[in-house]
Amino acid sequence: MDEIAVLVLNYTYEPLHFTNARRAVTLLLAGKAESVESSPRVIRSPSRVFPLPAVIRLAAYIRKPFLERVAFNKKNILRRDGYTCQYCSRRGEKLTVDHVMPRSRGGQTTWTNVVAACLRCNLFKGNRTVEEARLRLIREPVHPQFLFSVHLMRHPHATSFLDSWRKYLVAVPSSP
């Protein structure tokens, strides 16, 4: 029973995390959560029989600090920018990253100072600022938001409960 994943929603129906079935049942029996979606499986005890929950909602709102962050690396910068040069709109996999404010001028290697750039634009810009190179950014670089639903879909039990979880997650594609 422990290996079965249950989606835990905050009081406001926002996804919080996974828990195992045993913990979910404990929360239900203690009155700290309610079952929102049931799975086809049932739990039997000497005195009760009830469906195993697939999704539970906590009875009280839990303040959770935003701890999960998108890893800062070249792959995620390219994903954030849609594999598109932020100076000329050229698309493709053969892109590099560019510091909007060059490091030699005090620019830092952060989400808000690094963009995807094609090799031609990156070489043209060189050690200059965007204004000095007379280039224009298509989009200002921002820190991407962590997508909880993408993280959830990597869980090993995601496929078995996908339909039950789908309406509570953001940007999860529907089944074909």
Give residue-wise pLDDT tens across range 48-74. 888 999 999 999 998 876 555 678 889
Mean pLDDT of 38-48: 89
On the question of pLDDT at 145 being above 90, the answer is no
Contact 53, 24 (CB under 8 A): yes
What does the alpha-carbon distance between residue 123 and residue 85 come to, in Å, rounded to a whole number?
13
pLDDT of residue 154: 55
Q: What is the pLDDT of residues 111-135, one digit of tens each?
A: 999 999 999 999 999 999 999 999 9
What DSSP state is assigned to residue 46? S
User: Where is pLDDT greater, at 88 or 166?
Assistant: 88
Average pLDDT, rounded, for the chain: 83
* d(C-alpha 166, C-alpha 175), whole Å: 10
Tokens of 120: 């031609």
pLDDT over threshold 50, residue 165: yes
Residue 151: pLDDT band (50, 70, 90) is low
Mean pLDDT of 92-107: 92
The confidence score (pLDDT) of residue 171 equals 45
Which residue bears the tokens 């079965």?
4
Q: What residues contact residue 73 under an 8 Å CB cut-off, 6+ apart?
A: none
DSSP letter at 114 equals: E
Distance CA 84, CA 89 (A): 5
Options 3.20.20.150, 1.10.30.50, 3.40.50.300, 3.40.50.620; CATH for 70-144 is: 1.10.30.50
d(CA 54, CA 148): 17
What are the sequence ranges of the domains in the chain? 5-66+146-166, 70-144
pTM: 0.51
Could you tell me whether strands 96-99 and 49-58 are parallel, antiparallel, or unpaired per DSSP bridges? unpaired
